[in-house]
């Protein structure tokens, strides 16, 4: 099992110490447009997989998407801790739907 912190750190390590031939190095070498294209592709694959009753495809494609999002964060200099802080700041906040009339119709 690999947690998301470890995955993020592995990607940072690849950025700081390029390993020619690795897929992560290939993405960083190709640059932002390629990384964005992959995030778009993998997002679409998650959506299509979610329509399939067999959940193994959804697991596989979600893992692919999370990995490519990590590559995007590293490329853009956003740490995974910042994402966790953002999520943490929402705990308790988002459940107060009665205070948020804009989401009543969702």
Ligand X SMILES: N=c1c2ncn([C@@H]3O[C@H](COP(=O)(O)OP(=O)(O)OP(=O)(O)O)[C@@H](O)[C@H]3O)c2ncn1[C@@H]1O[C@H](COP(=O)(O)O)[C@@H](O)[C@H]1O
Residues binding ligand X (CB under 6 A): 7, 10-11, 14, 19, 22-24, 38, 64, 67
Q: How far is the CB of 24 from ligand X (least distance, A)?
A: 3
- Return the residue matching tokens 């190709």: 30
CB 41 within 8 A of CB 49: no
Q: How far is the CB of 55 from ligand X (least distance, A)?
A: 18
Please identify, using beta-carbon distances, which residue of 18 and 88 lies nearer to ligand X.
18
Give the tokens for residue 41: 């592709």
Please identify, using beta-carbon distances, which residue of 36 and 103 lies nearer to ligand X.
36
Please identify, using beta-carbon distances, which residue of 20 and 101 lies nearer to ligand X.
20
Going by the DSSP 8-state scheme, the letter that residue 82 receives in this structure is H
Q: Is 50 helix (H, G, I), strand (E, B) or coil?
A: helix
Q: How far is the CB of 77 from ligand X (least distance, A)?
A: 18
Tally: H helices and E strands in the chain: 5, 0
Angle between helices 55-76 and 4-16 (to 10 degrees): 40
Q: How far is the CB of 84 from ligand X (least distance, A)?
A: 19
């Amino acid at each position: 099992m690999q947690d998301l912190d470890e995955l993020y750190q592995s990607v940072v390590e690849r950025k700081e110490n390029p390993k020619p031939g690795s897929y992560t190095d290939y993405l960083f070498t190709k640059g932002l447009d390629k990384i964005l294209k992959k995030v778009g592709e993998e997002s679409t694959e998650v959506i299509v997989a979610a329509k399939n009753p067999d959940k193994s495809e959804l697991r596989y494609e979600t893992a692919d998407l999370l990995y490519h999002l990590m590559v995007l964060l590293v490329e853009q200099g956003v740490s995974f801790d910042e994402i966790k802080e953002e999520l943490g700041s929402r705990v308790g906040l988002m459940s107060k739907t009665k205070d948020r009339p804009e989401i009543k119709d969702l």
